[in-house]
Amino acid sequence: MPQRFRNRLLHKPQIAGTVTRLSVRHLSVCSMGNSTSRLYSALAKTLSSSAVSQHQDCLEQLDSARLDPIDPKDLLEECQLVLQKRPPRFQRDFVDLKKNAVSNHRPIRVMQWNILAQALGEGKDNFVQCPMEALKWEERKCLILEEILAYKPDILCLQEVDHYFDTFEPLLSRLGYQCTFFPKPWSPCLDVEQNNGPDGCALFFLKDRFELVNSANIRLTAMKLKTNQVAIAQTLKCNETGRLFCIAVTHLKARTGWERFRSAQGCDLLQNLKSITQGAKIPLIICGDFNAEPTEEVYREFSNSSLNLNSAYKLLSPDGQSEPPYTTWKIRPSGECRHTLDYIWYSQHALNVNSALGLLTEEQIGPNRLPSFNYPSDHLSLVCDFSFNQDPDRLLFYLLVLSTCLYEV
């Protein structure tokens, strides 16, 4: 890449026109002293003051059609230039899970990742073994982008996104993704000085592979009360096959002691998704940080749902029935935290998992755990390749009959 183009892509999107007005409840601009922050400052000036008082749940997005496209190779090269003093990215391999299944279309690659909100990483999460230098946004964002560019997902589901407008929307839209962001109503990021606005869930899909049919921003309820957790659910049409499917992203309530609350949120999300998918007629993929171990009630709710869901990463285990030993591993003042909290659920009657990205080993993660100079988040990314079953209705009927027989026995 010519020298004059270097360091251009990461810092200032080339906008051919103006940006649309943004509506969001409250944003405090992070003064990180770089041009992305200046871009975000310019965007923040377009915020509607009425949105702050009205606490609107939705927000308009940048007019991505006005952004010049970029070559992913150029962006990857620029990220690698920024990261040249850091250790190399961890090597992870895909595990083939096809079991002789035949597909007549290109697989759909889905990536799930809690990327760690910058404000929380620097201000609240207390990673006692992670040097603050490793959390610098100018380098950490390049590690995040490098991981995304390496695995080239067709659909990307992220949690704890607090740099949507100044980083992910401008860059990923220029890579061909349609972008949607739904912030938490009372994001904990806003309690951190020098924050960059609220964190939330974000969903991205490649516009040359899929057509958006319907999109829903869902504020989750628990015990009939609206909560601080959100979800995005989008019905897409696969351009290659013409098949419809629904992709959803969510992030449930954290912390021990909130198990019943998470269970209620999970029930609410399932009810919404049953309506959107017409009771499992439309195939479904759900990505999320559920903040729940497989022993929790919310996990059982998803496993036993009438939507006929299965957890994709169980297929990596020898018996196909066990979740990975961890998807997050960090050290806090209270001690070491090693948990399985992140999942990709899918309609097992309608979709096949062709392959899944293997997790990092304990040796790769190292004694100081995550995040680190090698890895930008305390959560591991999950990546799966899906294909459509040839006769999903017949398989769903068979599974329903089988479950009824087992119940009667």
Q: How many Å apart are CA 384 and CA 97, to the nearest integer?
A: 10
Whether the pLDDT of residue 397 is over 60: the answer is no
Q: How many Å apart are CA 113 and CA 312, to the nearest integer?
A: 14
Whether the pLDDT of residue 137 is over 90: the answer is yes
Q: Provide the pLDDT confidence category of residue 41 given band limits of 50, 70 and 90.
A: very low
pLDDT, residue 404, reads 53
Q: Provide the pLDDT confidence category of residue 383 given band limits of 50, 70 and 90.
A: very high
Residue reference for tokens 């919310």? 298
Kindly provide the residue ranges of all beta strands, DSSP E only, lying in 281-372, ordered along the sequence.
284-289, 309-311, 328-332, 335-339, 342-347, 351-357
CATH number for region 72-408: 3.60.10.10
What digits encode the pLDDT tens for the residues 226-274?
A: 999 999 999 999 999 999 999 999 999 999 999 999 999 999 999 999 9
Whether the pLDDT of residue 403 is over 80: the answer is no
Q: Provide the pLDDT confidence category of residue 337 given band limits of 50, 70 and 90.
A: very high
pLDDT, residue 148, reads 99
323, two tokens = 């979740």
Number of alpha carbons in the 13 Å side-chain half-sphere of residue 245 = 29
pLDDT, residue 405, reads 53
Mean pLDDT computed over 307-317 = 98
Lowest average pLDDT, out of 10-19, 77-86, 365-374, goes to 10-19
Q: Provide the pLDDT confidence category of residue 7 given band limits of 50, 70 and 90.
A: low
Lowest average pLDDT, out of 19-23, 179-183, 276-280, goes to 19-23
pLDDT, residue 272, reads 99
Kindly provide the residue ranges of all beta strands, DSSP E only, lying in 239-348, ordered along the sequence.
244-251, 284-289, 309-311, 328-332, 335-339, 342-347
Cα distances (angstroms) measured from residue 374 to each of 289, 295, 366: 21, 31, 10
Q: How many Å apart are CA 358 and CA 258, to the nearest integer?
A: 30
